[in-house]
């Protein structure tokens, strides 16, 4: 399991993360990235936990974010 945090203040709404990993990331109403409801922690769209089967695509999305707005641990 991977812990994921999105810094929406850094996000430039490029769409790369939800293109790379649409099972985990989606576009918010503001146009920034957020975590899909299913994987949020405490309902927070900026904090989530990725199950094992989504770890690879979440890592790819985090590495592909040009402004490093996606933190994983």
Q: Give the interface with ligand SF4 as residue ranges (CB under 6 A).
A: 6, 11-17, 33, 65, 67, 69-70
- Reported for 44-48, long-range contacts at CB under 8 A and 24+ positions apart, including other chains, are 45/6, 46/5, 46/6, 46/7, 46/8, 47/3, 47/4, 47/5, 47/6, 48/3, 48/4, 48/5, 48/24
CB 14 → ligand SF4: shortest distance, Å?
4
CB 46 → ligand SF4: shortest distance, Å?
10
| Closer residue to ligand SF4 in complex, CB, 16/72 | 16
| Closer residue to ligand SF4 in complex, CB, 14/72 | 14
CB 33 → ligand SF4: shortest distance, Å?
4
């Amino acid at each position: 399991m991977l812990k994921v945090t999105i810094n929406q203040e850094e996000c430039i709404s490029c769409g790369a993360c939800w293109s790379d990993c649409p099972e985990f990331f989606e576009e918010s109403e503001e146009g920034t990235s957020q975590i899909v409801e299913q994987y949020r922690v405490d309902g927070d769209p900026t904090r989530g936990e990725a199950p094992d089967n989504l770890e690879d695509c979440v890592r790819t999305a985090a590495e592909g974010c040009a402004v490093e707005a996606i933190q994983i641990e």
